[in-house]
Amino acid sequence: MQNSAVFVPHFHWDREWYEPFQVFRHRLVTALDTVLETAEADPDFRFTVDGQMAAIEDYLQMRPENRDRIVALVTSGRLAIGPWLILLDEFLCSGETIVRNLQMGWAAAAELGGSMPIGYLPDMFGHVAQMPQILVRAGIEHAALWRGVPGSVDGHAFRWRAPDGSEVRTEFLFDGYDNGLDVLLVPDQIGRALGEYAEMTAERWGDDPVLAMAGTDHHAPDPHLASWLRRASSEDRAITIATLAEYIREHVRDEVSAVVTGELRSHVRGNILPGVLSVRLGLKQRMAAAERTIDHAERVNALWSRRDDSPFLSLAWHKVIESSAHDSVVGSGTDETCDQVEARLAEAAQTARAVRDAALAEPAALVPSDGYLAVNPLPFPRTALVEVDVVAPPEGSALVAIAANGSAHPVQLISEAPTVLSDERMDASQLERVLRRIHRRELFGRLIDHYELTPGSLVFHLAEVPIRGSFDLLILRREVAAAAVAHPGEWRVLTLEEARATALVPVEVPASGLASFRVDPSDRPAARSTTLPPATGTARALSNGMVEVAIAADGTLDVTGADGTVLHGVGRLVDGGDRGDSYNYAPPAQDVLVSEPTQIAVELLESGPLRSRVRVTRLYEWPIALSSDRDLRSDRTVPTPVEMLVEVRAGEPFVRLSTSFLNQSADHRLRFHVPLPEPTTVSASAGQFAVTERGLTAEGGWGEYPIPTFPASSFVSAGAANVLLDHSGEYELVDDGSELAITLLRAIGSISVNIHPLRDEPAASEIPAPGAQDLGMRIENRFAVVPSATGWQGANAVALAEEFRNDVLVARGTAPVGVRLPPDVTGIRVDGKDVLVSSIRRTTDHERGAGTEVRLAAMSDTGSTVRVTGAFTEATTVDLLGRPLGETPAADGLELALGPWEIRTVVVR
């Protein structure tokens, strides 16, 4: 039996949860005031600030005068801070966001004396497979965590191994991050209570000291804690107070036999609360959109702008990382908390959008204003379809896209806009009021090209790009005033816009590069590109030579892939009741599943040649809510039409799908089903630098039913079905592995419920969260389906998911009409199979100067050979904190051999 114990005073600080951020911050300031006063009054006292710098930053904004006090305690080793900026949910953000979180937290801690070198992950709802590699590549050798550890671990530590083989020694907080509190309930009985606890858990500790985590949510330890423990310490049982860093450094053995590989999502020793993957859909979508916008902004700013907007990008990242907290993006907070998260994510995206648009404006200044600039955010060349607003062709003419090299490509006309914007009659004395609408040259959002002034008539001709030279508003005012005097009575004022249309244009864009084009009328269509077989469509079938879609009588789809694999019944919708909460799904005792529509309508929207589209509308009768006892669904139903847009584009080996409906029902879960040709026992999903395989079950054994719903970020694969995703979410293999089900909506009304059929212990207080019902909200989901008999690797899902999620960026040219289109330009190009490029950004080193950082990950168990090319001559490999590891000549490009699932970061100059 061990005869010593180490107490680690700490708190766990949810930045926002059942109270909004500012309410919790008010408590935080009081708590940290107490911590500082206690530490300065008692030299034995130590404190660990929850592993996240957000708590320190939030405190110092209110108490800036205490900065030096914090620095003194950190540098003396009595206050442990970092390494994270915030304790995140690892599955509901990108791998790149995890890296930036660690970078920002480490840098913030360095300014205050240095970070705790431990990957402290106390309360996340499970852990991603690549976390050990992320920590190791930042120089961190230890982790400490609670949830998700499998039952195979019978001690208090294990070696956690990432798919690439990286390992960190991991302290298993098997009784939670508050296991020491029960021992402290009666200060005079600490010795006895500690002895009983040590005896009960002796098999876990072996000869190692007991780790007693002395803290909980939103409370500072009692100021008398150190004196209590001094009194309780004895020759029979020595008690030490330490930070978590001191405990790891001084009191544990590195020799640990248990090894766990990959993600941690077991329910056996604690709830992992898997329902957070699917509640409050909008937050998940906004997180993905914000991350994508920042990524694009960083890439175009690094490659195509002379201006360094890093401060704005850092602000955007900070907002996203704050929102990634494990009680923020998960949606398990009150409505006002979730509203604040949503606003923060919007602010992040807006900040990044400003940087992105400013960066695009620089190369757009070289493109004539009747042309367009296309920018590819991905590091491989592609042909993409973009929608642009153009002058409509004269009757009998066609439109063609002219590239910089003079080649012509066919254009698909999508819609035409009305040309009469206003037709008014008024007295001559009112004409001056019309002129007040004009702002310099702008009118109705367009520019005045010219006007016609005749007795009794004023006609404005508007254009996107004026071609009639200058316009002088003062001259117009003088002419109109004179005409009104000369011709009193009724006047007609007509505002006409040049005939406009929306055109779909194929654009060949280099890797991370720029391409320009313009759309002109032509007497004959351009010859079709041999690289883009036409997309065709009827009301019942779509095809592009690579993928075919047939719309069945029940509104589902039969999708045939490039290799002949057929998926039947794609898009079957199944709606069931949900009596759970924001943390866990739960079916009512008497559930009613609705899977058959009462009406079906199919409408052909576009028939090619570049894009074909069909809208399938299915009407369902969904119960309006659960009954008052929540054990069955209501007899009252509400008719709900669900629109499914089915789209096939020329050159794409997948079918794009989007669903949309107005949610009028409460307490329900809606899932999109993809039946498989043959049942399977294995699924795989991509996210956070890995593709993780899972079975049909999850490990249970504690107080939470192990429902086998799993996270997916960029794609999910099961059997012959590969589904590309727009945002992180939830999926499950159902019916013994015969169907893949993707959650579109989970509508619930409480943060937590005390009586939950699938969870013994409440996850929080039973606080109403009516906003989580999403009532009156339009629910939209976007994904794509790739049939492939050879699974996700045969389908090239890593690259296809990147194409699906990352549209080509388009900006209008601003150079004078008549300027030649500038030639296409390539940026950073990366060639390699199953390689993810998670970041391309500007970086600056005080010794080496400016550079471009590229982060890559091999997304396979065989590794990847990668070639990186661009306008650089040397490369430096760096760790995830940017510290140099070695330099490589790269005059002719950079050749990299990535090991299986390896993350590699290089800076090129």
For 188-223, the DSSP string reads GGHHHHHHHHHHHTHHHHTTSPEEEEE-BBTBPPPT
* DSSP state for residue 410 in the 8-state scheme: E
For residue 755, count other CB atoms closer than 10 A to its CB. Answer: 11
| Type of residue found at 766 | E
CA torsion angle 675 680 681 682 (round to 10): -80
Residue 768 confidence (pLDDT) above 80? yes
Q: Which of 23-27, 432-436, 561-565, 614-618 has the lowest mean pLDDT?
A: 432-436
The residue among 448 and 845 whose pLDDT is bigger is: 448
Render pLDDT for 258-277 as a digit per residue (tens, 0 to 9): 999 999 999 999 999 999 99
- What mean pLDDT do residues 745-769 have? 96
- Angle ∠(286,292,294) on CA atoms, nearest 5: 100
Distance of CA 589 to the CA centre of its chain: 35
Mean pLDDT over residues 839-857, rounded?
Answer: 93
b/e burial code for range 804-822 (CB count within 10 A of at least 16 → b): bbbbbbbbbbbbeeebebb
pLDDT for the residue numbered 530: 53
| Spatial separation of the C-alpha atoms in residues 356 and 606, rounded to whole Å | 31
d(CA 724, CA 737): 19
Q: Is the pLDDT of residue 236 over 90?
A: no
Mean pLDDT of 366-386: 96
Whether 121 shows a pLDDT value over 60: the answer reads yes
Which residues have CB under 8 Å from 44's CB, separation 6+? 226, 230, 241
Q: 768, 652 in Cβ contact below 8 A?
A: no
| 846 pLDDT above the threshold of 90 | no
pLDDT computed for residue 254 by the predictor: 74
Average pLDDT over residues 293-313: 97
78 in Cβ contact with 47 (< 8 Å): yes
Share of the chain above pLDDT 90, in %: 91
Identify the band that residue 397 occupies on the pLDDT scale cut at 50, 70 and 90: confident
Which residue, 33, 94, 22, is CA-closest to 58?
22
User: Do 173 and 144 contact (CB within 8 A), yes or no?
Assistant: yes
Number of H helices, E strands in the chain: 16, 50
C-beta of residue 226 within 8 angstroms of C-beta of residue 120: no
Q: How far apart are alpha carbons 562 and 575 in whole angstroms?
A: 31
Residue 452 has pLDDT above 90, yes or no: yes
Contacts of 182 (CB under 8 A, 6+ apart): 193, 197
Residue 1: band (very low, low, confident or very high) from pLDDT cuts 50, 70, 90: very low
Residue 531 has pLDDT above 80, yes or no: no
Mean pLDDT of 394-402: 86
* pTM across the whole model: 0.94
Q: What share of the chain is helix, strand, coil (3-state, %, to 5)?
A: 25, 35, 40
Only one residue has tokens 């040397």, namely: 874
Residue in this structure with the two tokens 């050979």, named with its chain if needed = 865
User: Residue 525 above 70 pLDDT?
Assistant: no
**Residue pLDDT, tens place only, 162-210:** 999 999 999 999 999 999 999 999 999 999 999 999 999 999 999 899 9
Query: Does position 447 have pLDDT exceeding 70, yes or no?
Result: yes
pLDDT, average across residues 436-460: 93
Written as one string, the DSSP assignment of 286-349 is HHHHHHHHHHHHHHHHHHH-SS--HHHHHHHHHHHHHHTBTTTTT--S-HHHHHHHHHHHHHHH
Q: How confident is the model at residue 469 (pLDDT cuts 50, 70, 90)?
A: confident
Which range among 77-86, 137-146, 521-530, 812-821 shows the weakest confidence by mean pLDDT?
Answer: 521-530
Instruction: Characterise 849 by phi-psi region: left (phi > 0), alpha (psi -120 to 50), beta (else).
Output: left
Quick one: pLDDT band at residue 529, thresholds 50, 70, 90? low
What is the pLDDT averaged over residues 202-226? 94
Closest CA to 441 of 469, 418, 420, 417: 469
The 10s digit of each residue's pLDDT in 851-899 is: 999 999 999 999 999 999 999 999 999 999 999 999 988 888 999 999 9
